[in-house]
Structure 1
Amino acid sequence: MSNVKQVPHAPDRNIGEGPFERLIIRGVTMIDGSGTPPDGSVDIVVEGNKIKEIVQAGLPESALANAKVIDAAGMYVMPGFVDTHAHIGGVNQGVPAEYVHKLWLAHGVTTVRDPGSFNGADWTIHEKERSEKNEIVAPRIYAYTCPRNWDKPLTPDNVPEFVQWAIEKGFDGFKIINRWNPDTIVALLEEAKKYNLGTMAHISQTTAARMDALQAARAGLGSLEHWYGLPEAMFADRTVQHFPAHYNYSNEYHRFSQSGRLWKQAAPPHSDKWNAVMDELIELDFTMNPTFAIYEASRDAARAQTADYHEEYTYPSLWNYYQPDPTKHGSFFTDWTTQDEIEWKENYRLWMAFINEYKNRGGRICTGSDSGFIYKTYGFDFIREFELLQEAGFHPLEVIRAATLKGAELLSKENNVPMEFGVIQPGYLADLVLVKENPLHNFKTLYGNGALRLNRDTGVTERVGGVSFTIKDGIIYDAKALLEDVKEMVHHAK
């Protein structure tokens, strides 16, 4: 428990306006999250923390009396983003929760799912409860736990006890990761379902030989994180990944370099095996959470290492954690080769082909960042996930749907509760993102430090974009001010 105390909790909220008895977002162009094209201008009326109505062509001036009004003429509004794989920092990274939360909100993220609650059970539940009450500046938190937060080894026999412990603590679900007995996985999936608790899995190479993604989905798994276990389900001429004789899973260079050679060992795109696995997963209503961004350094290390936000926004202890070091998770670039990057580029090509086709056939794809590792910084690399989904073949509207409605849909399904956010419609929570630039034209304008553009009037290149306002539960946060707070935190820590 001493390590858990090293992670500072977020301070009490002292910024953010609202919620208001009546808030009107006036004259905005709406991208509602469902996949429908932009529509506007509209006036969005919020009462308290709920969307009351959406008025086409605008309200009369008399309706603005006694209301808080945001003049959003020329702006775009989207539902608050949902990051379904979002760690709240960690002891090893040395970052305070305030830093992480503010980076998320500054990039429009209003809901996160913390996989594993690695800062400790009580710590994460404390943040979750304070966020629910808006006592801190933070997204809404869905907290998933894993056996490392419990004081006993997990077995099929004690799964009911573990689940009851999680319920009493206030967790929303469970994360499966690393070496698990398949019988224990099945027992947990069955027990979780009884109590409407979600399940997510990183099916590592220490598990995949005994239970792949399809077998886990058949047993009732809710979502697959990353892609481990999926190529293994499509092996047609082998049953085990081609591990070199010198391979050691605990050697992270071995682990990640060989992972980049895995997709080409699976059945090729659109083959009978590929199609059969995809069709069955879709029939099972199984969710994919690819987290493309977190592995991007594997295919282009220099790009990730020199991202233009690191200097001002990456916390120094986090930057130190990223540096090549065999003792740190994901810091495996001690002898990363040209061939490793070539293999990972091909890995992405095949992986993206599967994810895009899964979406096209009706499968659910969500957005998750998994930031805090491998040169990926909170908030910024959630937006990078948008760009990579677009690279995979998603239309920008499909990307936004994955980041809003589909994430909310997953959380609703897993906990068997009605959807309350993820799309802009009356009766839903007032979780909204306001931006000045059209995100469908260029997702780069969603980055906190904006995107470069030539001002044709002055002939000078300037930065444009960034989120203007993030609204969570009807509370308005100035995204630029949040980023200034983060910059000051980073400067002070340096």
Structure 2
Amino acid sequence: MLKTFLTAIAVSLAMPVLAQPTMERVPDRPAGEGEGPFETLLIRGATMIDGTGAPPEGPVDIVVKGNAISAIIRGGGVDVAADKVIDADGMYVLPGFVDTHGHNGDPAKAPQPSYGFKLWLAHGVTSVRGVGFGWGASDPSIEQKTRSAANTITAPRLFAYQVPGTVWDQGLVDTPAKGRAWVRWAKGRGYDGIKFFNNEKPHILEAILDEADKQGMGTVAHLGQRGVADVNARKAVELGLDGVTHFYGHFESLLDGSRLPQYPADYNYLDEQARFAWVARLAEQVGEPGSDQWNDYIDYLIENDVTLSPTFNIYAASRDVMKARNLEWHDKYTLPSLNKFYEPSLTNHGSYYHDWTSEDEVAWRKFYRKWFDLTHEFKDRGGRVTAGSDPGYIYQTWGFAYIGELEMLREAGLTPLEVVRAATVDGAQEIYDSKGSIAPMGSIAVGKLADLVIVPENPLANLKVLYGTGHTRLNRERNELETVGGVRWTIKDGIIFDAPKLLEDVARMVEEQKRAQQ
């Protein structure tokens, strides 16, 4: 049993190269699933939250020609001839959300990529950076990216990142020259950027980062603990890294009194219960927020134009696993196979709460406080923070996990307008910085792509109204419970998707799998 456990975990922590080959092909978008694009689409009477941080304003009429915004009429009421009109009176319109940390299933837990794609769209996510969407020689990322760009599948706009040495047939990237060759090869294949797990030696990482910059490819890293003795976040940034996701590498850059983390004598990295229980205790080995050490580190990140995509939500179950296990959307919208994957397991990556105690949860709550403080201070000094969800692990189901991330960004101290900016214009620009251009989406402005979210309730007052299950509250006049919110329409490339209908499709997938297992 132990040998099987360690082998499975070792594979999952390196890269799940064997996890993806039999993923189902995404079906073509059927007739009637999404309307448009139209010669002229008019969105009438909405309150606009444009994504830049500007205050809401309304009523506003938005005119869309094809797949782009052609006019914004403040005050509304102008007579515009249109092929399609959306009456958004009393509603709120925002830019389409950008998820900067996406994956898309594997055959064991969510074999049809449409499951995740539809959940993303149903929650207003119109662009996703896959880090990555798949692994190995049969990685579907480029095919799915191309089909999404052509709108022949029901999916957000996809940006494909890949891990050095994967996909091609020339083996490990074990020299700087080979690293540079892989970058050029990946660029030629159509990949947008590179995701690192801290598996490269520093001189090889430096060569890959330099070549990525030359080729206009973005870079982001999960700075795993096995490589952090050589490359923590500060070192990775020094070598040229664009962005840091999760918390890995930050705390190791802030150690107080030692150069390396201090592990307990019985620590075993391949035992995920030990690995993730210990992670929270790492916060005890760093200084306090506001110290000279913290200030110097944050200043260094900002001076080097680093972007942080914290993905707070993916470890939220560590604070309260009972809550995560019983989230209200699991029964209707989480596949039984995915729920099974989430359960404590010796083989499934992220299912590490084998004997998760109140002491573990308290330690993680304390850990989050310092992680929140680091992110908040970074943001306050001008650093860019974006929103990523890392779905499909640890009770974090697609779409719902993204809104959970927005709530946690708010908990970290971002204001509601800052949360929206992180989810829209800043996420879009993080992806496009490496391309050397202004993002064509991410804000509501004339000339931008018509990627929009229309919501009946005000998300600045309550982010919970963005969940597909809506927000339940007491109607005090009738003394009755009512459910409000949920995205009403998601518009991608001028194509209007009925968000409740997408959720119905997902619910049907879940029910079909439940019946098949009876």
Match of 1:16 in 2: 34
**Alignment of 1:144 onto 2:168:** no
One-letter code of the match for 1:90? D
Structure 1 SS opposite 2:236: helix
Matches within 5 A, 1:40-439: 40-61=58-79, 63=80, 65-120=81-136, 122-146=139-163, 147-151=165-169, 152-155=171-174, 156-439=176-459
CA drift of 1:220 comes to 1.1
Structure 1 SS opposite 2:55: coil
One-letter code of the match for 2:162? T
Contact residue 118 and residue 149 of structure 1 kept, 8 A: no
Structure 2: 5+ residue stretches without partners: 1-16
Q: Deviations over 1:206-257 (max 9, x none)?
A: 1111111011111111110101001111123111112111111111111101
- Structure 1 Cα separation of the partners of residues 20 and 345 of structure 2: 23
- Structure 1 Cα separation of the partners of residues 156 and 299 of structure 2: 35
One-letter code of the match for 1:405? V
114-123 or 44-53, larger mean C-alpha shift: 114-123
One-letter code of the match for 2:248? Y
Contact residue 46 and residue 474 of structure 1 kept, 8 A: yes
One-letter code of the match for 1:40? G
One-letter code of the match for 1:136? I
Structure 2 SS opposite 1:260: helix
Structure 2 SS opposite 1:356: helix
- Structure 1 Cα separation of the partners of residues 185 and 149 of structure 2: 21
One-letter code of the match for 1:71? D
Q: Deviations over 1:366-387 (max 9, x none)?
A: 0000010001100001000111
Contact residue 21 and residue 139 of structure 2 kept, 8 A: no
CA drift of 1:394 comes to 1.1
193-202 or 255-264, larger mean C-alpha shift: 255-264
CA drift of 1:94 comes to 3.3
One-letter code of the match for 1:31? I
CA drift of 1:58 comes to 1.3
Structure 1: 5+ residue stretches without partners: none
Q: Deviations over 1:445-488 (max 9, x none)?
A: 10001011112343210211100000000000000000000000
- Structure 2 Cα separation of the partners of residues 305 and 183 of structure 1: 43
- Structure 2 Cα separation of the partners of residues 119 and 80 of structure 1: 27
Structure 1 SS opposite 2:220: strand
Contact residue 4 and residue 119 of structure 1 kept, 8 A: yes
CA drift of 1:122 comes to 4.0
- The CA RMSD over aligned residues, in Å, is 1.3
CA drift of 1:314 comes to 0.4
1:478 aligned to which of 498, 501, 508: 498
CA drift of 1:337 comes to 1.3
Contact residue 233 and residue 244 of structure 2 kept, 8 A: yes
The alignment of Structure 1 onto Structure 2 pairs a total of residues equal to: 492
CA drift of 1:9 comes to 2.2
174-183 or 371-380, larger mean C-alpha shift: 174-183
CA drift of 1:287 comes to 0.4
Contact residue 198 and residue 221 of structure 2 kept, 8 A: no
CA drift of 1:119 comes to 4.3
317-326 or 152-161, larger mean C-alpha shift: 152-161
One-letter code of the match for 2:250? L
Structure 1 SS opposite 2:107: coil
- Structure 2 Cα separation of the partners of residues 116 and 467 of structure 1: 26
Q: Deviations over 1:54-96 (max 9, x none)?
A: 00111433x2x34311111000000000000010222342331
Q: Deviations over 1:122-151 (max 9, x none)?
A: 411111100010000000001001133333
